[in-house]
Amino acid sequence: MKKISRILFIFLGAICLAMPAFSQQDAQFSHYMFNSMNYNPGYAGLEGVTRITGIFRKQWLGYSSTTDAPGGTSPTSAVITANTLLPFLKQRTGVGANFVYDSKGPINTTELQISLAYHFKIKTGKLGVGLRSGFRYENLNTNWYQVIDKTDPIYENLVNAPASQVKPDIAAGLYWQTPKYYIGVSASHFSGTKYTYGIDTSIASKLSSHAYVTAGYTFNFSGGMLKLTPNAFFQTDTRNYTYLFGAILMYNDKFYGGISARESIANKEVTKGGSTVANDDIIFLIGMNLMKNNALRLGYSFDYVTSGVQAKTRTSHEIMLSYVIPTKWLQLKPIVRTPRYRQEEY
Burial of 334 (0-12, 13-18, 19+ CB in 10 A): exposed
Q: Residue 224: its pLDDT value, please?
A: 86
Res. 329 pLDDT band, cuts 50 70 90: low
Cβ-contact 154, 199 below 8 angstroms: yes
What's the pLDDT score for residue 33? 94
Residue 280 lies in a domain: no
- Whole-number mean pLDDT of the chain? 81
Distance linking the first and last C-alpha atoms of the chain: 26
- The phi, psi pair for 88, rounded to 5°, reads -85, 155
Beta bridge partners of 118: 93, 129
Q: Please tell me which residue, 331 or 238, carries the higher pLDDT value.
A: 238
Q: How many domains does the chain contain in total?
A: 1
Q: Would residue 236 count as lying in a domain?
A: no
Query: What range does the domain containing 21 cover?
Result: 2-222+292-302+322-343
Q: What are 249-303's pLDDT values in tens digits?
A: 999 999 999 999 998 887 665 445 555 656 688 999 999 999 998 999 999 999 9
* Whole-number Cα distances in Å, 341 to 31, 68, 332, 333, 336: 49, 80, 19, 16, 8
Whether 155 has a pLDDT exceeding 80, the answer reads no
Question: 134 lies in a domain?
Answer: yes
b/e for 18-53, b at 16 or more Cβ within 10 A?
A: ebeebebbbbbbbbbbbbbbbbbbbbbbbbebbbbb
Does residue 86 lie in a domain region?
Answer: yes
The answer as to whether 104 is a domain residue is: yes
Angle at 111 between CA 135 and CA 171, to 5 degrees: 65
Proportion of the chain above pLDDT 90, given as a percent:
48
Residue 312 lies in a domain: no
Residue 57 located in a structural domain: yes
236-261 tens-digit pLDDT: 887 788 999 999 999 999 999 999 99
Query: Which amino acid makes up residue 21?
Result: A
Residue 59 lies in a domain: yes
Alpha carbons within 13 A on the beta-carbon side of 10: 6
261 contacts 246 by C-beta, under 8 angstroms:
yes
HSE-CB of 4 using CA atoms within 13 angstroms: 21
